């Protein structure tokens, strides 16, 4: 027999009613508060990074929320497909494709009015060659030390001069990517910014017009004022997670991962729980089975390491995390089927920081965010009420 839960739980004094056994909750009020904070710090227009489906938060929903904000000048994605999806869902503003496009994608990128990052003169010519009756728009990326994408410093002057003579392409920006900006006193960041500015100063001295510059990611916005230039590209800070050093910047996480209790059972001393018998009950214990697992993005690597929250109390995860379920020791607590377990985020009384889980996995919060499966519905809250929900199938 299948069960359909209609969970009810309190959140910040409000009653939230949902029809999902497990879900990801996105706090849109916190989203806007984070943008307020980032904008004040940057002092320059923003191009929020919403690649990887807004780091798992839902790119379409995030873009719709931020499109009307005067501080937001553009959105950044990584692939053409990500940009196409935004256009299909009515996002009409500027979209920068950070990963560039392949030759076979160039025509579609131009037709959709996308701004494409280029790293070479060859890419510039290919983009211009596919423009047809339109004008292609590009951003030149310079490699200043990340050594991933980007034109070599020795080639920048030639590229800028050549592109300025092309009739079918215009430069909307010139950029670099910082490799170490999460450290307050990063010598690498200082060296990258110095090289970037020196290259462009030389180009300006040669009579070449320099388009708007953008280098600052979230860490750089808060830690390295020299990076802010004419446009900033905040990423993880938009979603409220501080992965850079220094004092607390005041960003608030907007994502919570919640699951429902599917079964509560008593176990005896010596009884194993889950695969591999990695947890054996030391005595009589009450165990709750939560309807979420590694297929949903709650990593198997957290087995016997993680804690979650139920009824304002922290509970220990026990045994191997399964594909669809995980188990918690809830001994001494009043727990029943349908109760809500908060695996990431806050229930209004306790908090389970994403960074804590990331550190347990020897990784970063970015990977946790991006790994949360679209099998789980995204539920968007604003003013304490559900404003919009999206299931995986409705993406």
Identified catalytic residue from 6, 88, 275, 385:
275
**Cα separations in angstroms, 330 against 268, 317, 320, 344:** 14, 9, 16, 17
For residues 377 and 245, what is the distance between their CA atoms, to the nearest angstrom? Answer: 32
Other C-beta atoms within 10 Å of 83: how many? 28
- 352-356 LR contacts (CB < 8 Å, sep 24+): 352/307, 352/308, 352/309, 352/314, 353/253, 354/241, 354/253, 354/255, 355/241, 355/242, 355/243
For residues 308 and 346, what is the distance between their CA atoms, to the nearest angstrom? Answer: 10
Helix boundaries (H) for the chain: 28-42, 51-55, 59-66, 80-88, 103-111, 121-129, 156-165, 187-205, 218-223, 354-360, 365-371
Is the CA virtual torsion 360, 365, 371, 372 positive or negative? positive
Identified catalytic residue from 20, 41, 51, 298:
51
Which tokens is 142 given? 């310079």
Which tokens is 279 given? 């947890």
Question: DSSP string spanning 337-373?
Answer: TT-EEEEEEE-SS-EE-HHHHHHHTTS-HHHHHHHS-
Q: Known catalytic residue: 260?
A: no
For residues 290 and 21, what is the distance between their CA atoms, to the nearest angstrom? Answer: 9
Tell me whether strands 351-352 and 14-17 are parallel, antiparallel or unpaired: unpaired
Q: Known catalytic residue: 294?
A: no
In the chain, what is the straight-line distance between the N-terminal and C-terminal CA atoms, in Å? 29
Decide: helix, strand or coil at residue 394.
helix
For residues 107 and 207, what is the distance between their CA atoms, to the nearest angstrom? Answer: 31
**Cα separations in angstroms, 99 against 37, 52, 68, 231:** 27, 12, 25, 18
Annotated catalytic residues are 51, 275
């Amino acid at each position: 027999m299948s069960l359909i839960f209609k969970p009810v739980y309190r959140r910040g004094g409000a009653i939230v009613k949902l029809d999902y056994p497990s879900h990801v909750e996105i706090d849109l009020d916190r989203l806007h508060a984070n943008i307020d904070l980032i904008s004040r710090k940057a002092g320059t227009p923003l191009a929020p990074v919403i690649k990887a489906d807004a780091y798992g938060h839902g790119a379409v929903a995030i873009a719709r929320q931020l499109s009307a904000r005067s501080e937001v000048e553009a959105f950044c994605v990584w692939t053409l497909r990500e940009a196409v999806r935004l256009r299909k869902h009515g996002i009409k503003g500027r979209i920068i494709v950070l990963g560039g496009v392949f030759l076979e994608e160039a025509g579609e990128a131009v037709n959709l009015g996308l701004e494409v990052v280029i790293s070479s003169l060859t890419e510039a010519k290919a983009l211009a060659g596919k423009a047809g009756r339109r004008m292609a728009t590009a951003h030149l990326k310079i490699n200043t030390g990340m050594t991933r994408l980007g034109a070599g410093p020795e080639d920048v002057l030639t590229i800028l001069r050549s592109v300025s003579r092309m009739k079918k392409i215009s430069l909307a920006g010139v950029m670099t990517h910082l490799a170490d900006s999460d450290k307050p006193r990063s010598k690498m960041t200082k060296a990258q910014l110095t090289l970037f500015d020196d290259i462009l100063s030389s180009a300006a001295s040669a009579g070449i017009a320099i388009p708007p510059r953008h280098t600052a990611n979230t860490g750089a916005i808060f830690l390295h004022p020299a990076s802010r230039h004419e446009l900033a590209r905040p990423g993880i800070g938009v979603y409220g997670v501080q992965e850079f050093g220094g004092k607390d910047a005041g960003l608030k996480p907007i994502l919570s991962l919640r699951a429902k209790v599917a079964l509560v059972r008593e176990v005896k001393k010596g009884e194993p729980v889950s695969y591999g018998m990695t947890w054996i009950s030391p005595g009589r214990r009450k165990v709750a089975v939560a309807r979420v697992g590694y297929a949903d993005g709650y990593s198997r690597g957290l087995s016997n390491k993680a804690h979650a929250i139920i009824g304002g109390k922290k509970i220990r995860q026990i045994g191997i995390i399964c594909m669809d379920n995980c188990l918690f020791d809830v001994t001494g607590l009043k727990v029943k089927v349908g109760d809500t377990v908060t695996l990431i985020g806050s229930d209004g009384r306790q908090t389970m920081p994403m960074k804590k889980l990331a550190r347990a996995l020897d990784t970063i919060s970015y990977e946790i965010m991006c790994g949360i499966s679209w099998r789980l519905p995204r539920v968007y809250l604003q003013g304490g009420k559900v404003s919009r929900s999206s299931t995986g199938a409705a993406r």
